[in-house]
A = this chain, B = another copy of it.
Amino acid sequence: MIENYEAFRGEVRLSKEDVIRDVFRQNKERISIKKEATAVKNLTRIIDSTLRLANSKGFHAMTLRDLCGDSGMSMGGLYAYIRNKDDLIHLIQSHGFIITRRTLLHYTDEVQDVRGRLFAAIKAHLYLSELMRAWFYFSYMEAKSLPVEEKRDAVAIELEIEEIFLRLIEDGIEAKVYCSRNARLVASMIKALLQDWYLKRRKYRDQNVAVDDYAAFVRDVIESYLLGER
């Protein structure tokens, strides 16, 4: 069970390099570099720069020359890691999928009462998107132009997330902890609120709203609707 964002951050941060290592291993056939250490170092630069540039001007508007400028690599160097521009998307997406699956599943299973579980799920998602903001933003904004395979995975993970919330709410209604409501609408509302957190990150920062404040706010809104008149 995670208590707050700082604790979460400490636990997960460690694994970022591990994830890139996984990305490298999963994509060995497309990558002509053999030494793992250099590959991981460069993949990190490539992924970070791609996210930064794509999020500021859009993936399509970002040229590979932009990317080389930002990451400090040469065109030839870059092409040792990808076969074409779309492979960049694949790198980005697989790296995000790996982290997301790993952590979301890990943190929402740790049980308690129904209300506590819902709050835990809200926090897990907010914390994750806080840590991986650039990836979530990219994934959302570029979703429509993703290659088929990546698009399928992106839709699937979106659905998975919404189902997690849906089930928690249905459980609560069945257990009479929550009153009878349209669970599906509530689940999609939660998702919309969680998305707003990473899509409008700057706005919340300007208002000095910390992630734990926002988590509590979302919980309060949801609960005041689900607990109903009492």
A58 touching B144 by the CB < 8 A rule? yes
Contact pick for A144, options B57, B207, B229, CB 8 Å: B57
How many whole Å from A225's CB to the nearest CB in chain B?
A: 5
Asked if A200 is at the interface of the complex by the 8 Å CB criterion, the answer is yes
Asked if A60 is at the interface of the complex by the 8 Å CB criterion, the answer is yes
Binding site for B on A (CB under 8 A): 55-58, 60-61, 141, 144-145, 182, 184-185, 188-189, 192-193, 195-196, 200, 203-204, 207, 209, 214, 217, 220-221, 224-225, 228-230
How many whole Å from A151's CB to the nearest CB in chain B?
A: 12
How many whole Å from A56's CB to the nearest CB in chain B?
A: 7
Q: Which residues of B contact A56 (CB under 8 A)?
A: 144
Q: List 13 A-B contacts (CB under 8 A).
A: A58-B60, A61-B145, A184-B207, A185-B207, A188-B203, A188-B204, A189-B193, A189-B217, A192-B192, A195-B196, A220-B225, A224-B225, A229-B230
How many whole Å from A201's CB to the nearest CB in chain B?
A: 12
Contact pick for A196, options B192, B209, B221, CB 8 Å: B192
Contact pick for A185, options B184, B192, B209, B228, CB 8 Å: B209
Q: Which residues of B contact A228 (CB under 8 A)?
A: 224
Q: Which residues of B contact A60 (CB under 8 A)?
A: 58, 60-61
A185 to B207 Cα, complex, angstroms: 9
Contact pick for A224, options B57, B189, B224, CB 8 Å: B224
Q: What is the chain B residue whose CB lies nearest that of A141?
A: B141
Q: What is the chain B residue whose CB lies nearest that of A60?
A: B60
Contact pick for A188, options B58, B141, B200, CB 8 Å: B200
How many whole Å from A188's CB to the nearest CB in chain B?
A: 7
Q: Which residues of B contact A214 (CB under 8 A)?
A: 185
A60 to B57 Cα, complex, angstroms: 10
